[in-house]
């Protein structure tokens, strides 16, 4: 079992609803350690680059618009099997299909405003953390 990095983003809907603390509590409770944290508003360029993998999907424009619609909290997380641990505590993309007691089941408001982002592979965990954090910003 390897020590991995993964990226979480608390999305604008969850920040607006004052769910930052509750979500970080769940991530820490799942065995993840916060190694970097920043709060701010993504630019259109940030969001387009970050979600470039989805650029041909029908929902891409809306997703970029949603992710830039308000403040987000960006978390670099570390832990043993951090990628899977984070995906498990997040729950399914569609909050209606997310298992009970997952972040998306509790705080998701729809398939787009689903409260959190999480890296989907070990490689993307490394790349997504590096997208937002310089090495010296990680503790
Ligand atoms: P996940 O965030 O679970 O890894 P994806 O990578 O497939 O899911 O999608 C990225 C994000 O795009 C989702 O978290 C969600 O905000 C949005 N999204 C995914 N599917 C749809 C959809 N069918 N309609 C609108 N937005 C969507
Ligand atoms: Mg994804």
Q: What is the pLDDT of residue 33?
A: 98
Q: What is the pLDDT of residue 3?
A: 95
User: Across the 139 residues of the chain, what is the mean pLDDT of every consecutive 10-residue run?
Assistant: 94 98 98 98 98 97 98 99 98 98 98 98 98 98
Residue by residue, DSSP assigns 3-20 as EEEEEEEE-HHHHHTT-H
Q: What is the pLDDT of residue 132?
A: 98
Q: What is the pLDDT of residue 2?
A: 85
Mutate to test the pocket of ligand 1, among 13, 50, 53, 111 (most ligand atoms within 8 A of CB): 111
| Nearest-5° Cα angle at 64, 72 to 7 | 45
Ligand in closest contact with the CA of 65: 1
Radius of gyration over alpha carbons of the chain, in Å? 14
Q: What is the pLDDT of residue 42?
A: 98
Q: Which residues, in sequence order, are bridge partners of residue 72? A: 40
Catalytic residues: 117
Angle between helices 82-90 and 20-29 (to 10 degrees): 130
């Amino acid at each position: 079992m390897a020590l991995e990095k993964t990226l979480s983003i608390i999305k604008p809907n969850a920040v607006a609803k004052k769910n930052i603390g509750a979500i970080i509590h769940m991530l820490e409770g799942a065995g993840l350690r916060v190694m970097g944290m920043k709060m701010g508003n993504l630019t259109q360029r940030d969001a387009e680059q970050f979600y470039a993998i989805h650029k041909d999907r029908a929902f891409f424009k809306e997703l970029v618009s949603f992710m830039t619609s308000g403040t987000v909290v960006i978390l670099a997380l570390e832990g043993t099997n951090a990628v899977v641990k984070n995906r498990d505590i997040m729950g399914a993309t569609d909050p209606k299909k997310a298992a009970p007691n997952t972040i998306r089941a509790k705080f998701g408001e729809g398939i787009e405003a689903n409260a959190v982002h999480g890296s989907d592979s070990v490689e993307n965990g490394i790349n997504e953390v590096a997208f937002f954090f310089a090495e010296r910003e990680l503790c």
